[in-house]
Structure 1
Amino acid sequence: MRTVRESALDVLRARGMTTVFGNPGSTELPFLKHFPGDFRYVLGLQEAVVVGMADGYALASGTTALVNLHTGPGTGNAMGALLNARANRTPMVVTAGQQVRAMLTMEALLANPQPTLLPQPAVKWAYEPPRPADVPAALARAVQVAETPPHGPVLLSLPMDDFDAAVTEEEDRTALRTAARRVEHANAPRPETVRALADRIATARSAVLVVGDDVDAAGAWDAVVRLAERGGIPVWGAPVSARVSFPHDHPLYRGELPPAIGPLARALEGHDLVVVIGAPVFRYYPYVPGPYLPDGAELVLLTRDADEAAKAPVGDAVVADPGLTAQALADHFPDRTSAPAPHRPSRTPWTEDGVLPPGAALAAVVEGAPGNTLWVNESPSNVPQFHQAARISNPGSYLFSAGGGLGFGAAAAVGAQLGAPDRPVVAVLGDGSVHYAVQALWTAAAYRVPVTFVVLSNARYAILEWFAQLEHAQGAPGLEIPGLDILAIAAGYGVRSRRAESAGDLTKLVREATAQDEGPVLIDVPVTTELPSL
């Protein structure tokens, strides 16, 4: 008779989930003992880093990530990263150890008294199987829930004494049959709905598209480009986009919308129909009041997330696959030749007392990076300068956190490199951001993951200085972080590190770092502070 452990491992094999991101505690050891040779365990030194690595891995590889956390304390440590994963729509199965069943009633040490309540609302589903024999089937169901649009993390609480329990032959077969199920999610819109919307676009005085993260995540990039080109429709990126969902060098691209109510409506002035594809309506912060849309404008949201459709403050909605919907809409418009992309003059980086402005630094980084780079960004105050420099124009090439919490970048970059080993990964990080997940440097070094970390150092939380201005909160403490030595910290974790002395030196360092596969490299770049604007 087989054990729960053997049956559970076969369920994971059936789903191709043989990479485990974890930080083990005593309640996880029974699952991990006699760890099989066809599985890979990626150790993170703190649980938020573990989840961040899994987040980047799933987004870069297009697969569902597997995480192993330590009962209640480990889940608690990971909550911020889980909230980011939920906002990122990342398919992820999180297992958390639990005390033995015989001591749950007395709430012995390390018992999680509310294992399904603690991770809420960061997960789509949380469950503790009622019997040991239910663990394999629960794992199979968890994968299906994580992979059902909108994707997201789920959590299973697994008592530590379950894994050596026996499963019957029928229970084992049932779990494997459940794991082998494949569910296709391809919700096509009704033809009459498509026809009506196509007519609205064609008869609008000035229609505009706003594209969001789900365009890239759902593989709808080409369909949206075709729709924009055939309809001659300008395209904005949704505010605070975590992915790039339209080529930034395309002549129809207008930029990223500001993330505030009044400024966003002003940016859309002149348009009478706004078609939002694969984005919430809208991701706002900070609060700047005003109308949701320009006077006289209407909005239609195309989304596969029924909750996003329900909570939108304005407009109609169609809940369907964004790629199928965009393709069907494009078929209602004739082919037309797209205008060539406008010439973008090169920018000459300059220095000021040996310190680069952020735009100049980012231009130098982009110049040194290969064309197929997968970019991870967590330098919040420099996002506009990054997009101006990088002009990303290929799908699956940019990751940012939609959740708003720091700690995603360094960890996600390590996971992304493991998930997409054939692509160079460059992480652009603020010197404040990197310390929320600094333990990821150790994992990168220990596993020889060839990530290039570029740290833009200005010794402050610049994005908070911007918010302080907007919120009239000048004089708030804790916004400066002097005395950090990221080169020494990186060296302590075993990461080769250098400080860029000029724009040319920075380009050279990035080119060398992305050309090697011997392990991670960190490049420290002193920069000036430039605050964003709405």
Structure 2
Amino acid sequence: MTPLQALFAVLREEGVTRIFGNPGTTELPLLDALTELPEFEYTLGLQEGSVMAMADGYARATGRTAFVNLHVAAGLANGMVGMLNAARSRTPLVVTAGQQDRRHLAQDPMLAGDLVGIARPVAKQVFDVQHAYDLPLLLRRAFALAARPPAGPVFLSLPMDLMAELTEVSLPSRSVVAPAGPAPGLADAARLLAAARSPVIVAGDGVGRDAAVPALVAVAEALGATVYHQPMNDGVDFPGSHPLHAGTLPARHAGIRAALTGHDVVLIAGCHAFTPHHYTPEHPLPDGITVVQLDSDPAEIGRNFGADRGLVGGIRASLQGLAALLTGTADGSAERLAAGRLAAERRDAELARQLGGLRAVAPIDPLAAAAAVAAGLPDNAVLVEEAITTGVLLRRVLRLDRPGSYVHTVGGGLGSGIGAAVGHRLGDPRRPVVAVLGDGCTMFGLQGLWSAVRYRVPVTFVVMNNGEYRTLKHTLDDIDGPSARQRRYLGLDLGPPALDFTRAAAFFGMDAIRVRDTNELTETLAKAGTRDAPLLIDVPITGHRHPEEDA
């Protein structure tokens, strides 16, 4: 078979049925061949950021490595943000980009560039394919590496002339890898946890990725342990309505330390080293706390803090083993579970009290808008969140229990929300998808709306429209305290003119509404599961206020 035929053969055997891309001249051999291969669906994005975000969402929804095809150095550079997000969120992707014809690379042709050099900082591994006979082997290797813990994007540079060669190449067979088993040392770790006076668990995103939520629930209930999600979690790693769930840890070491103070043993499961956002000088772990750390990636053990017991193995298999060892061994677990129920009831009552005094008509208070979203979500919905300040509030009001119901990225590359929502719905059309977006994030990825309309993907996009970069104003106020009342904010406002996202949706041919109050928002979202086309909801929310106004 030819190199191009071998590429498609590998894709078939790896379970790929959809190719995400934005093409150029170097991709013409691949595109031309696809016209004769109906088993592959080519999904077009108008900019590489949207392409990468769609592939990321699709990989998460299907549980399979997604395949992306970009165009030369400039296209790859545009896609780097998506590769960075995938690397930090542990999403398995195989990303390719067409290189210029090798026969004139020495002449520095237009569009050529050092593709592997561009991709190396954000890829798990890079391959510069220079020989036709290497393409099947390296592509097969790329799929294996992308899925191996820690999962992430793997990049291949594919010269245009190589893809058009008629050279005969051989196809290496696919390896079937058994799932990782339980970590050694579980019995010793179980003894430490069972002896704890006040155990606490940090549920990392590795738990959700390994379908290990039920096993972690069993461990938590056996211990009666308080459970926190990792800072800025990317998914549902513990049921939000469970009485032992205490919310999400803040993305500052000082806040993490405060939350964990008073506990004597902590189980940190599948969590990437806490990854703080703002700097605080405190160590994240209280003095004297005993640390049991579990991860499928050996590099995580002891990465940023010492582990008294470091466990390396399959997260689901290891938690299942721990649960079996812990059942009936922890004194006081029933009392701690009852205390957790009381604490959860108090938190819910305080939240209800706060919501009772908030503005419910446009412009809506952000917390009230977040609560309206939570109230309107269909039971089986997937929430894709890229809303920054409103997203933090959403984490307070959401009570999502079903794994896979929440999608976020800790990558930091803005503009992923629209594409991720489209890709997720393409990957799992059985569940309605609602994307909650900040207005600034929406502008970063606006062209992704075109793909939603083009492929008639029934995502409901909710844009929290306050006309500003509110999180940056909050950060400045936190730094300066009361002196912020004299502050002018440079470059942090998106108006005038005010952004009207209903008009942006209309440009792409998408239906849109601007809601007037929280009731209309909740009622509109409740119909998300019945739509057969995308809809954009523009939600006017109140903007930033100075600290003395809040007081």
Task: Name the TM tier (shorter chain).
Answer: over 0.9
- Paired amino acid for 1:477: L
Identity, % of aligned positions: 39
TM-score by length of 1: 0.93
Separation (CA, whole Å) in 2 of partners of 1:308 and 1:468: 33
- Aligned residue among 408, 411, 416 for 1:408: 416
Show the counterpart of 2:289. Answer: 297
**Cα deviation digits, residues 170-208 of structure 1 (max 9, x gap):** x33x33x1xx32122404212xx1111111112222221
1:116 partner SS: helix
- Paired amino acid for 2:52: V
Show the counterpart of 1:60. Answer: 61
1:289 partner SS: coil
Greater mean alpha carbon deviation, residues 285-294 or residues 369-378: 285-294
Separation (CA, whole Å) in 2 of partners of 1:104 and 1:282: 44
Structure 2 unaligned segments of length 5 or more: list them: none
1:185-204 to structure 2, matched below 5 A, reads: 185-190=179-184, 193-204=185-196
1:15 CA drift (Å): 0.9
- Aligned residue among 315, 334, 340 for 2:327: 334
Counterpart contact for 1:240–1:283, Cα < 8 Å:
no
1:305-320 to structure 2, matched below 5 A, reads: 305-316=297-308, 317-320=310-313
Greater mean alpha carbon deviation, residues 299-308 or residues 267-276: 299-308
2:491 is the counterpart of 1:478: yes
Counterpart contact for 2:469–2:492, Cα < 8 Å:
yes
Separation (CA, whole Å) in 2 of partners of 1:397 and 1:277: 20
- Aligned residue among 450, 464, 471 for 1:456: 464
1:137 CA drift (Å): 2.0
Greater mean alpha carbon deviation, residues 103-112 or residues 156-165: 103-112
Show the counterpart of 2:246. Answer: 254
2:212 is the counterpart of 1:220: yes
**Cα deviation digits, residues 135-169 of structure 1 (max 9, x gap):** 1222111100101111100010000111221343x
**Cα deviation digits, residues 33-70 of structure 1 (max 9, x gap):** 13121111111111011101111111111111110101
2:266 partner SS: strand
Show the counterpart of 1:84. Answer: 85
1:476 CA drift (Å): 4.6
2:40 is the counterpart of 1:25: no
- Aligned residue among 500, 509, 527 for 1:494: 509
Q: How many pairs does the alignment contain?
A: 522
Instruction: Give the structure with the larger helix fraction.
Output: 2
Counterpart contact for 1:68–1:96, Cα < 8 Å:
yes
1:357-376 to structure 2, matched below 5 A, reads: 357-376=365-384
2:524 partner SS: helix
2:396 is the counterpart of 1:397: no
2:534 is the counterpart of 1:520: yes
1:352 CA drift (Å): 5.8
1:182 partner SS: coil
Counterpart contact for 2:434–2:528, Cα < 8 Å:
no
1:359 CA drift (Å): 1.9
1:65-214 to structure 2, matched below 5 A, reads: 65-112=66-113, 114-168=114-168, 171-172=169-170, 174-175=171-172, 177=173, 180-190=174-184, 193-214=185-206
Show the counterpart of 2:6. Answer: 7
1:430-441 to structure 2, matched below 5 A, reads: 430-441=438-449
1:302 partner SS: strand
1:34–1:269 Cα change, 3 Å: same
Counterpart contact for 2:418–2:446, Cα < 8 Å:
yes
Greater mean alpha carbon deviation, residues 61-70 or residues 133-142: 133-142
1:349 CA drift (Å): 8.3
Separation (CA, whole Å) in 1 of partners of 2:545 and 2:259: 20
Separation (CA, whole Å) in 2 of partners of 1:264 and 1:350: 29
1:489–1:50 Cα change, 3 Å: same
Separation (CA, whole Å) in 1 of partners of 2:214 and 2:135: 40
The alignment's C-alpha RMSD in Å is: 2.1
Counterpart contact for 1:349–1:364, Cα < 8 Å:
no
1:162 partner SS: helix
Counterpart contact for 1:382–1:532, Cα < 8 Å:
no
1:430–1:532 Cα change, 3 Å: farther
Show the counterpart of 1:504. Answer: 519
TM-score by length of 2: 0.91
- Paired amino acid for 1:46: Q
- Paired amino acid for 1:521: L
Counterpart contact for 2:58–2:427, Cα < 8 Å:
yes
**Cα deviation digits, residues 230-259 of structure 1 (max 9, x gap):** 111111111111112000110101111111
Show the counterpart of 2:278. Answer: 286
1:310 CA drift (Å): 4.9
Greater mean alpha carbon deviation, residues 323-332 or residues 88-97: 323-332
